[in-house]
């Protein structure tokens, strides 16, 4: 990689850093406020989760007592939690998208530090790239 390419990469990284630094306060508040509420297909279970997919509230419609099948209820609750978590994660991803390069985005979402560092290493000039 030549000096001009290194300068261009450094400028790109500095611009990314400035974007992150200038918006981090607002981003933190927006991320903390993320929540997703999903109701099961049958309307008997409603689940609310926070930004990390943590369950913050589970509500049961009183009609649920008319159907005493515990396995079915368990499956409904689990499936509703999964849907709510997916919805919350989609909101978090949308908020983070402007701050994380596409090449590193999935690694950030998966909390894959090895993947992030591998990507950063591949962006640096190495002995074999000269």
Q: How far apart are CA 51 and CA 85, in angstroms?
A: 8
In the chain (130 residues long), the average pLDDT of successive 10-residue segments reads 82 79 78 95 96 94 90 95 95 82 70 65 55
Residue 44: exposure state from Cβ atoms within 10 A (0-12, 13-18, ≥19): buried
Any idea what DSSP says for residue 64?
G
What are φ and ψ of residue 38, in 5° steps?
-130, 140
Q: What is the pLDDT of residue 129?
A: 47
Q: How far apart are CA 73 and CA 22, in angstroms?
A: 46
Please tell me the total number of residues recorded for the chain in this structure.
130
* Three-state secondary structure call for residue 21: helix
Q: What is the pLDDT of residue 56?
A: 97
For residues 41 and 102, the answer to whether their CB atoms sit within 8 Å is no
| Beta carbons within 8 Å of 39's beta carbon, 6+ residues apart | 45, 46, 80
pTM here is 0.67
Cα maximum dimension of the chain: 73
């Amino acid at each position: 990689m030549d000096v001009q390419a290194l300068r261009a990469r450094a400028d790109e990284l500095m611009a990314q850093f400035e974007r992150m630094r200038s918006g981090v306060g607002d981003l933190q508040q927006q991320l903390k406020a993320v929540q997703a509420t999903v109701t099961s297909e049958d309307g008997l279970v409603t689940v609310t989760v926070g930004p990390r997919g943590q369950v913050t509230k589970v509500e049961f419609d009183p009609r649920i007592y008319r159907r005493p099948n515990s396995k079915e209820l368990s499956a409904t609750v689990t499936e509703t939690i999964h849907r709510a978590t997916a919805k919350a994660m989609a909101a978090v991803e949308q908020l983070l998208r402007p701050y994380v390069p596409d090449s590193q985005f999935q690694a950030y979402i998966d909390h894959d530090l090895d993947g992030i560092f591998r990507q950063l290493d591949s962006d640096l000039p190495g002995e074999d790239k000269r």
